[in-house]
Structure 1
Amino acid sequence: MTDTAAPIQEATLWSDALWTARVIKNEDDDGWAVAMTRQGDPEPALVGPWTMGRDKKNPKPLDAPAFHTLVKTANEVLRRHEQQLHARLNKHVSVGAGSERIRVSLQIVPDEDNPHAMLRAHDESGSELAELRVKPDFRLNAASAEAWIESGFEKPR
């Protein structure tokens, strides 16, 4: 669907320039589900139960308030996934070294061909003290950060 395509507003299919809501048969039971797919994405960002209509057989038709609620929910799901991914790939710890604190961070680069991580140390003013490429499974914690600092920022074993 291109940005110039007209929105679709049918009983079981609604779309705008960014999202498509499609009411589908729930494979797990006799009910219905709704799938929210962002334009260009191969899979739905959100699949959830959908309400039965008055006849208790067919799905309740989509409408503007339901579509807007589904868009908001799907955006929130994507945002949470992005936050979880960021948290999994970026870690940091602050440790005391002498009279000042040093912030040690680990940024994992999930490259398919050459996965690695960058270990960095910054002083309290934000100046970089050291940077080192490490294996992506490097475990950053207070002990490993202190050991790296005490070694003079040598490559951990």
Structure 2
Amino acid sequence: MTDSELDPSAEAVHEDRLWRDDGWTARVIKNEDDDGWAVEMIKDGEAEPALVGPWTMGRDKKNPKPLDAAAFRTLVKTASEVLRRHEQQRHAMLHKNITVNVRGEDVTVTLDIVPDEDDPYADLKAFDPFGAQLAQARVSAGFKLSHASAQAWVEGDFQRPG
């Protein structure tokens, strides 16, 4: 791929095998796994494609079907959904919360993992039913938040977990 194909400030392009518009680039490429074709969707500013999938053969059964506006819109929608699902999955992995009942009061315990390359860690926090923070502790990024660990932390008056 050339620098001009990756330049987000470049003009819109609507060619048979290359479409660039609305912050996305679609490129029809030779499928390396077989004799067919594939399409890759790259969001402007990203180095890796958000989506790579099979592409339809043209009428001659040799060349790819040309890209068009409808196909491009569908590809943008699909690639955007893939990115959204990845972000939701990442958020779910890095942010957890559990509510426990201690001495008749609900306490919500949250764990927010900070995936720092050099020193990953997590923030463990406790909140009362009105959202006021009761405590905070820095723990290892590998800390497992469970009902039992949350209950023990709250019942232990928020002593930093070992």
**Using the alignment, how far apart are the partners of 1:76 and 1:100 within structure 2?**
40
Q: Who is 1:128 aligned against? A: 133
**Using the alignment, how far apart are the partners of 1:2 and 1:108 within structure 2?**
32
Find the partner of 2:25 among 20, 23, 40.
20
**Using the alignment, how far apart are the partners of 2:29 and 2:8 within structure 1?**
23
- Find runs of 4+ consecutive structure 1 residues off by over 4 angstroms: none
The equivalences for 1:31-46 within 5 A come to 31-46=36-51
The alpha carbon displacement at 1:114 in A equals: 1.3
**Using the alignment, how far apart are the partners of 2:153 and 2:89 within structure 1?**
27
The equivalences for 1:45-64 within 5 A come to 45-64=50-69
Whether the aligned pair in 1 keeps the contact of 2:113 and 2:123 (CA below 8 Å) is yes
Task: List runs of 5+ in structure 2 lacking aligned partners.
Answer: 1-6
The alpha carbon displacement at 1:17 in A equals: 4.5
**Using the alignment, how far apart are the partners of 1:117 and 1:30 within structure 2?**
48
Task: List runs of 5+ in structure 1 lacking aligned partners.
Answer: none
**Using the alignment, how far apart are the partners of 1:58 and 1:96 within structure 2?**
64
Aligned residues: 156
TM-score (norm 1): 0.97
The equivalences for 1:99-110 within 5 A come to 99-110=104-115
Find the partner of 1:11 among 12, 16, 26.
16
The alpha carbon displacement at 1:2 in A equals: 3.9
Whether the aligned pair in 2 keeps the contact of 1:35 and 1:44 (CA below 8 Å) is yes
RMSD: 0.8
Whether the aligned pair in 1 keeps the contact of 2:8 and 2:23 (CA below 8 Å) is no
The alpha carbon displacement at 1:6 in A equals: 1.8
The alpha carbon displacement at 1:98 in A equals: 1.3
Q: Who is 1:87 aligned against? A: 92
Report the 3-state secondary structure (helix = DSSP H, G, I; strand = E; otherwise coil) of the residue aligned with 1:65.
helix
1:129 alignment partner AA? L
